[in-house]
Amino acid sequence: MSDHDTHDHHGPEYLAHHFDTPEQQFESGKLGMWLFLVTEVMMFGGLFCAYALYRANHPDIFAYAHGFLDWKMGGINTAILLASSFTMALGVRAAQLGQKGFLILLLVLTLAGGFGFLVIKYFEYTSKFAENIWPGTSNLYYPITDANGKPANTNKIIIEGEEEQLTITREAQLNEIAVVELKKLMHHGYTPHPVQATYDLYKKRGAFEELAEYDAYKRKKGKESHYQEHIMHMFADAGIADAIAWAEANGGHGGDHDKDKGHAKDDHDHKDGDHAEPKPKENHNDGPAYAADPAIDTATLVGLIPVSSTSAGASNIKPPAAGATGLVDSQAHAVALADDHGGHDAHANAPPLGMPDFSHAKYYIPYEFQPKSVQDRIHLFFQIYFMATGLHALHVIIGMGCITWVLGKAMAGAFSPEYNVPVDIVGLYWHIVDLIWIFLFPLLYLIH
């Protein structure tokens, strides 16, 4: 026998020729994987640094834009990945014990978790693509012009239910953003503020009519869609007179909406102690003329600042200790509306415009009421979102490929208590993929 043949068979069949012992092979493999995972952490660390920088400098952007993410879908994906990590860990243990059948089952379950994660991510992405929220300059929120006033966005807006694609002009952008806010933010349970001005803005933008057309389009496709009804009832519940009139003209202020909430309706007659629908204030139409322009003369607002950055209701407006108000346009607009309806003295214990107390509610300020500095940067949140979650999804796919390779070897009987290095190493990779998502989920989906 030659020296070469002796070297190739210096140990068990699974022992590579450049290792002296199985223990050395195992430790070298794990060390190599840990070094690789360090580089993965460094790569995602750059994204986390970008996130921290932008969120610290522009918290209002993240507070607004994160409302487009469905935390329930993100939560389900988190549970799926945690379960898949558990089955992968059990799989490593099964390989160490030589339990071939159990190992195969656990690897299949882990793969199923990966598929489930990608399916949910597919629905998340497509729901945003349908509203023209894309990565890159195609994003609906991307600025129309650059700092020099030159066109920066020449893409098309795809309106679902329409045959043609509209060129992104400023008016088309504002009209579509109003519809998207209704379909995403309000439908996800966020309350617009200031509510009457928001209603008037959406009415001016034709958003309610577009919702009706969208519902009709979906019904033609054989799908149930009640966006307009749902949104109008939400405005009616907030005390908006026009919305209450619409709701009563379309089956009563309540109907299916109240049935869903478990509230009985009997010709709008409520006995004492029964739940009563909110009503518009007296002389509601005698108030100020609401406009979409958020520019407010803050000189008239000296002495009023919101105590909380998460609530701009009149009950939260107090005299400052000293100095200027420091209000951004959107906050100043809310303060002015509150003041026009009696001011913080007259409404010390009640929010303006019939709105519920905001102290424990989640709300948003419409895009058009945000300062231009915020409007021009909202797309940055979506760029970070798509980059971080897209890169993570790519790692999930790679991990599933590795698990499939390990599954094939397991079915061929390649693993035993003496040799299970590939299972252990692939398990480490899968765990780091899951760990990264555990950080991404709260940072992107659970912003307060």
- Domain boundaries defined on the chain: 20-137+377-445, 294-353
pLDDT of residue 354: 35
Question: When comparing pLDDT for 86 and 16, which is higher?
Answer: 86
Per-residue pLDDT at 204 exceeds 50: yes
pTM for this model (two decimals): 0.75
Confidence class for position 180, pLDDT limits 50, 70, 90:
very high
Instruction: Categorize the per-residue pLDDT at 277 as very low, low, confident or very high, splitting at 50, 70 and 90.
Output: very low
* Residue 258 pLDDT exceeds 70: no
Q: What is the pLDDT of residue 263?
A: 38
- What pLDDT digit, counting tens, does each position of 98-155 carry? 999 999 999 999 999 999 999 999 999 999 998 999 998 889 999 988 777 777 776 6
Give residue 252's pLDDT: 63
Q: Once rounded to an integer, what is the mean pLDDT over residues 365-373? A: 90
**Of the ranges 1-10, 245-254, 305-314, 324-333, the best mean pLDDT one:** 245-254
326-354: per-residue pLDDT in tens?
333 334 444 444 444 444 443 333 333 33
pLDDT surpassing 50 at residue 42: yes
Give the mean model confidence (pLDDT) for residues 319-332. 34
Q: Cα torsion for 181, 185, 189, 194, to the nearest 10°?
A: -60
- What is the pLDDT at residue 285? 36
Give 324's pLDDT tier (boundaries 50, 70, 90).
Answer: very low
Q: What is the CA radius of gyration of the chain?
A: 29
Query: 242: closest CA among 274, 276, 212, 201?
Result: 201
Q: What number is the average pLDDT over the span 279-302?
A: 34
**Residues contacting residue 184 through CB under 8 Å, at least 6 positions apart:** 67, 68, 131
Mean pLDDT of all residues belonging to the chain: 76
Looking at per-residue confidence, does 6 or 412 come out higher? 412
Residue 284 CB contacts under 8 Å (≥ 6 apart), including other chains: 241
C-beta neighbour count of 219 within 10 angstroms:
12
Among 184-198, 278-292, 299-313, 373-387, the range of highest mean pLDDT: 373-387
CATH number of 20-137+377-445: 1.20.120.80
What pLDDT is attached to residue 249? 92
Greater confidence (13 vs 64) lies with 64
Mean pLDDT across the stretch 215-244?
A: 90
Q: Is the pLDDT of residue 426 over 70?
A: yes
Give the whole-angstrom CA distance, residue 123 versus residue 41.
27
- pLDDT band for 244, please (50, 70, 90 cuts): very high
Residue 28 pLDDT grade (very low, low, confident, very high; cuts 50, 70, 90): confident
Provide DSSP, 373-434.
Answer: HHHTTHHHHHHHHHHHHHHHHHHHHHHHHHHHHHHHHHHTT---SS--HHHHHHHHHHHHHH
| Whether residue 13 has pLDDT greater than 80 | no
Is it the case that residue 255 has pLDDT exceeding 50?
A: no
Q: Under a CB-based contact definition with an 8 Å cutoff, are residues 314 and 338 in contact? A: yes
Q: What is the pLDDT of residue 177?
A: 95
- Measure the N-to-C terminal CA separation of the chain; round to a whole number of Å: 72
State residue 295's pLDDT score: 40
Report the percentage of the chain scoring pLDDT > 90: 50
Give the model's pLDDT for residue 253. Answer: 55
Higher pLDDT among residues 253 and 291, named by residue: 253
Residue 20 CB neighbour total at 10 angstroms:
10
More confident residue, 346 or 175: 175
Whether residue 289 has pLDDT greater than 50: no
pLDDT of residue 439: 96
Region 57-67 average pLDDT: 91
DSSP-derived secondary structure letter, 157: E
Beta strands 191-192; 305-306: pairing state: unpaired
